[in-house]
Amino acid sequence: MPTTTRTGPRINAVVQARTGSTRLPGKVLTELGGRPVLDRVLDAARAAPGVDGVIVATSTAAGDDAVADRAAGLGVDVVRGSEDDVLARFVQAVDEHPCDAVVRLTADCPLLDPALIGLAAATWRSAPEHDYVATTLVRTLPRGLDVELAAVPALRELAGTATGYDRTHVTSGLYGDPGRFRCLGLVVAPAADDLRVTLDTVDDLHALRGLVELLGDRTDWRSVVSALRARPDLVARNAHVRQKSLAEG
């Protein structure tokens, strides 16, 4: 990866990825528009302005060897840790690749907008007193375009006390305790939070493939929303999919 010459706080994007999905095993390596989903996520992270480094955080399970190999083959740094304790994986990524804040991305979101990632980075750099900056505190974007940034001191503090699903979901302990952690939300207008462009089921994949046929490699959020508003048939392909709760993993 290119060497950054930026001064000031360092921000790394950490992409959590594994093959052991219960509803769609191997989804992060599934082909979408001629490329694995993981490639698309990493391309967005590397194209994001204000991001200094990109790391894939996967597990030590044998099934995730393919994830590690794919990322390494693309020239992306990889850390491997607990399959279930994802928060510990993020701390490991920070230990091995020091930075001041991390952008948390998930490898099942193939239409991430680099500009939104850059917006979160720029917002935190302008207001670094915040522990957490995200598009999800008040959701106005389609599910699957989520961007979250956590300051490393807050992440380390959380790792010392978090239990249960807060260790699986990494950031839930930050936004779930606003009295302890300072949180800042990013919103867009008009709201499009009724739309879904994440990959968790076969029906999600069907919807995404139709959308990619329309958009090609364009993933800016306005194009995504406009395409879906113009094609309710694509929206209907996965509109019925229920997002799992935090407790369900």
For the chain, helix, strand, coil in percent to 5 are 40, 15, 45
Please name the fold of domain 11-248: Spore Coat Polysaccharide Biosynthesis Protein SpsA; Chain A (3.90.550)
Judged by average pLDDT, the poorest of 43-52, 132-141, 148-157, 236-245 is 236-245
- Segments making up each domain of the chain, as ranges: 11-248
Average pLDDT over residues 69-91: 96
pLDDT of residue 21: 78
pTM of the model: 0.93
What confidence tens digit (pLDDT) does each residue in 132-172 have? Answer: 999 999 999 999 999 999 999 999 999 999 999 999 999 99
pLDDT classification of 7: cutoffs 50, 70, 90: confident
pLDDT at 2 > cutoff 80: no
Average pLDDT over residues 175-188: 96
